[in-house]
Structure 1
Amino acid sequence: MHGPGILDTLVDKALRREVPTREEALAVLRTEDDDILDVVAAASRVRRRYFGLRVKLNFLVNLKSGLCPEDCGYCSQRLGSQADVLKYTWLKPEEAAKAAAAGVAAGAKRVCLVASGRGPTDRDIHRVADTISAIREESPGVEICACLGLLSQGQAARLCDAGADAYNHNLNTAGERYADICTTHTYEDRVETVGQARDAGLSPCSGLIAGMGETDEDLVDVALSLRALDPDSVPVNFLMPFEGTPLAREWTLTPQRCLRILAMVRFVCPDVEVRVGGGREIHLRGMQPLALHIANSVFLGDYLTSEGQPGAADLEMIRDAGFRVEGVDEVTMPDHRDDVVTPRKRGAGTALPPNA
Structure 2
Amino acid sequence: MNRLEEAKQKALKGDGVSRDEALWLFESDDLTALCRAADEIRDARCGNAFDLCSIVNGKCGRCSEDCRFCAQSARYPAETGAYPLLAADELAARAKADHEQGVRRFSIVTAGRTLSEAETEAVCAAVRAIREACGVSVCGSHGLLSYEQLVRLRQAGVARYHCNLEASRRFFPQVCTTHTYDDKIAVIQNAMRAGLTVCSGLIIGMGETAADRIDLALDLRALGVRSVPVNVLTPIPGTPFEQLPVLTEDEVCRTAAVFRFVLPQAAIRMAAGRGKFEDKGARIFRSGANAAITGDMLTTSGITVARDLALLRSLGFEVARA
With the shorter chain as reference, the TM-score category is over 0.9
1:249 pairs with 2:243: yes
Matching of residue 73 in structure 1 with residue 30 in structure 2 = no
Letter in 2 for 1:192: A
Are the aligned partners of 1:255 and 1:285 in contact in 2 as well (CA < 8 Å)?
Answer: no
Distance in 1, matches of 2:159 and 2:129, equals 15
Question: Aligned partners of 1:159 and 1:70: how far apart in 2?
Answer: 23
Which residue identity lines up with residue 201 of structure 1 in the other structure? G
Which digits, 9 at most, give the CA deviation of each residue in 1:205-263, with x for residues without a partner?
Answer: 11111100001111111111111111121111111111110001111411010001011
Residues 18, 262 of structure 2: 8 Å contact kept: no
1:309 equivalent in alignment to 2:307: no
1:85 matched to 2:80? The reply is yes
Q: Which residue of 2 aligns with 1:8?
A: 5
**Mapped partners of 1:105, 1:9: distance in 2:** 43
The match for 1:96 is 91
Show the counterpart of 1:27.
Answer: 24
CA deviations over 1:260-305 (Å, ceiling 9, x no partner):
10111111111111111111122x4337112222111111111111
Percent of residue pairs bearing the same amino acid type: 37
RMSD over aligned Cα atoms: 1.4
Aligned match of 1:195: 189
Aligned pair partner of 1:269 in 263, 268, 280: 263
1:240 aligned residue: 234
Greater displacement, 72-81 / 180-189: 72-81
Q: Residue 209 in 1 paired to residue 203 in 2?
A: yes
- 2:283 is aligned to 290
Aligned residue type for 2:320: E
1:163 match: 157
Contact 2:48–2:318 under 8 Å retained in 1: yes
**SS in structure 2 at match of 1:288:** coil
Matched, 1:132 2:121: no
**Structure 2 letter corresponding to 1:242:** I
Does residue 143 of structure 2 align to residue 149 of structure 1? yes
- Give 3-state SS (helix, strand or coil) of 1:327's partner: coil
Question: Within 2, Cα distance between the matches of 1:326 and 1:182?
Answer: 35
Q: Distance in 1 between matches of 2:98 and 2:118?
A: 27
Matches of 1:6 and 1:122 in 2, distance apart?
53
Tell me, in whole angstroms, the C-alpha distance in 2 between the residues paired with 1:73 and 1:63. Answer: 21
Indicate the residue corresponding to 1:120 in structure 2. 115
**2-side partners of 1:129 and 1:252: how far apart?**
38
Provide the C-alpha distance between the structure 2 equivalents of 1:154 and 1:204, rounded to a whole number of angstroms. Answer: 16
Instruction: Find the counterpart in structure 2 of residue 46 from structure 1.
Output: 41
> 1:81: how far off?
2.5
In 1, Cα distance between equivalents of 2:280 and 2:306: 17
The Cα of 1:97 is off from its aligned counterpart by 0.7
Contact 1:57–1:299 at 8 Å: present in 2 too? yes
Give the TM-score normalised by structure 2.
0.96
What letter is aligned with 2:127? I
Distance in 1 separating the partners of 2:175 and 2:206: 8
The letter of the residue matching 2:2 is G
Structure 1 stretches lacking a partner, 5+ long: 329-356
Report the alpha carbon displacement of residue 63 of structure 1 after superposing the two structures with TM: 0.8
5+ unaligned residues in a row in structure 2: which ranges?
none
How far apart are residue 31 of structure 1 and its match?
Answer: 2.3
Q: Which residue of 2 aligns with 1:339?
A: none
2:112 match: secondary structure: coil
The alpha carbon displacement at 1:310 in A equals: 2.8
166, 173, 179: which is aligned to 1:172?
166
Indicate conservation of the 8 Å contact 1:255/1:287, yes or no. no
Structure 1 Cα separation of the partners of residues 321 and 148 of structure 2: 33
CA displacement at 1:79 relative to structure 2: 2.7
* Alpha-carbon shift at residue 312 of structure 1 (Å): 2.4
Counterpart AA for 2:267: E
1:110 and 2:97 are equivalent in the alignment: no
Corresponding residue pairs, total? 321
Distance apart, 1:76 and its partner CA: 1.1
Query: Which residue pairs with 1:332 in the alignment?
Result: none
